């Protein structure tokens, strides 16, 4: 196939692009490099710097493309509360621009959209399945839900297939750790290894579904290849529910170092529980999550050079982390680097 990956220099996007390239597909990447790193891309991938809202550029990049993986987005939940207009412009406007360009150019067979589990919000029943009513509680989640609706509507009108993948909390080697609103797992690992304090909002009983990057990439690739998925919403998670408190304890056990945990019980801990029902992914994509959390954390420590340095005695400064788990699965804060 000939493939375009938007946000393809980001954490998930670069792994996806590299795996597609290894599988023999021709891969183009679009990324604005607000947080992406093109050095992570394999030689032979056609990299293009640009904004996903630039329709003329999209016209050029979509020539002879069969499948589009749309990962370009801004993804920080806390930042979306501060800058909702920007999140709407990029996450919704960027998606509409891409879909318009797909319609205009013609020839695109399918668009696979990286949505977010945050659209579910608080639910009375766990695990969550794709048929449940959504309760987005933050602008980031609203933007992803709106983008899903544009995806299906414009895909139907434009004559190309569409799939929305609701990704839960992805983690793995090479995940960026920005100074503010960092992804929970690498930030916890850094803080515990460095002897700093981990500040958990709430009592740490809130739960999340942490899914290893290799499993996410496998699900995304299959969504671009399998038949019978047009118009579908599909969860991508581990199906394993883990509390923030248990996450800290598991990391401490693996790195053999006690965590200095401070619970900020006056602060909200975010969504109380969130874990994926992956039955539909198994049925439509033959997806089975392969990496359980403890094994994934060990892979993270083995394969992430920055964390290996921390484990060798380089101490990170103590920092307060919003460990509510109310963090986007994509793990990056970028216009084009999901």
Active centre residues (catalytic): 140
Give the SS3 label for residue 94.
helix
Nearest to 323 by CA among 205, 241, 155: 205
CA 100/CA 251 separation, integer angstroms? 45
Q: What 3-state DSSP class applies to 7?
A: coil
CA–CA dist 300, 305 (Å, integer):
9
Q: Which of 311, 191, 182 is nearest to 260 (CA)?
A: 191
The helix (run of H) or strand (run of E) holding residue 46 is: strand 46-49
Q: Rounded to the nearest 5°, which phi and psi values hold at 206?
A: -65, 145
CA 156 to chain centroid, in Å, comes to 25
* Spatial distance between the Cα atoms of 202 and 105, rounded to a whole number of angstroms: 49
Spatial separation of the C-alpha atoms in residues 291 and 220, rounded to whole Å: 16
Coil, strand, or helix at residue 211? strand
CA angle 224, 304, 23 (to 5 degrees): 25
How distant, in Å, are the alpha carbons of 66, 85, 108, 112, 127 from that of 69?
A: 10, 24, 11, 5, 26
Pairing status of strand 161-167 against strand 232-236: parallel
Q: For residue 16, how far is the Cα from the chain centroid?
A: 11
State the Cα–Cα distance between residues 321 and 199, nearest whole angstrom: 5
């Amino acid at each position: 196939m000939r493939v375009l990956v938007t946000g393809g220099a980001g954490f998930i996007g670069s792994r996806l692009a590299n795996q597609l390239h290894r599988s023999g597909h021709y891969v183009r990447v679009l990324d604005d490099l607000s947080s992406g790193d093109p050095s992570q891309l394999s030689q032979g991938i056609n990299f293009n710097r640009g904004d996903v809202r630039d329709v003329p550029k999209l016209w050029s990049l979509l020539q002879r493309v069969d499948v589009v993986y749309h990962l370009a987005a801004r993804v920080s939940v806390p930042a979306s509360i501060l800058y909702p207009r920007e999140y709407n412009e990029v996450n919704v406007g960027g998606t509409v621009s891409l879909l318009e360009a797909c319609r205009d150019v013609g020839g695109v067979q399918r668009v696979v959209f990286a949505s977010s589990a945050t659209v579910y919000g608080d639910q009375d029943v766990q695990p969550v399945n794709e048929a449940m009513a959504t309760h987005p509680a933050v602008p980031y989640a609203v933007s992803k839900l709106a983008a899903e609706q544009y995806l299906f509507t414009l895909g139907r009108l434009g004559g190309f297939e569409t799939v929305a993948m609701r990704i839960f909390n992805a983690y793995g080697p090479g995940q960026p750790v920005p100074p503010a609103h960092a992804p929970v797992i690498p930030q916890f690992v850094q803080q515990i290894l460095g002897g700093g304090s981990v500040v958990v909002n709430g009592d740490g009983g809130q739960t999340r579904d942490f899914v290893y990057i290799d499993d996410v990439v496998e699900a995304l690739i299959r969504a671009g290849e399998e038949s019978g998925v047009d118009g579908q919403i599909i969860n991508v998670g581990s199906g394993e529910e883990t509390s923030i408190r248990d996450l800290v304890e598991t990391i401490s056990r693996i790195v053999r170092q006690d965590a200095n945990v401070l619970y900020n019980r006056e602060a909200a801990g975010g969504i109380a529980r969130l874990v994926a029902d992956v039955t539909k992914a198994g049925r439509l994509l033959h997806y089975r999550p392969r990496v359980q959390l403890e094994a994934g954390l060990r892979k993270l420590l083995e394969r992430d050079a920055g964390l290996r340095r921390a484990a060798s005695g380089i101490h990170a400064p103590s920092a307060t982390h919003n460990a509510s788990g109310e963090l986007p699965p994509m793990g990056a804060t970028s216009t084009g680097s999901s």
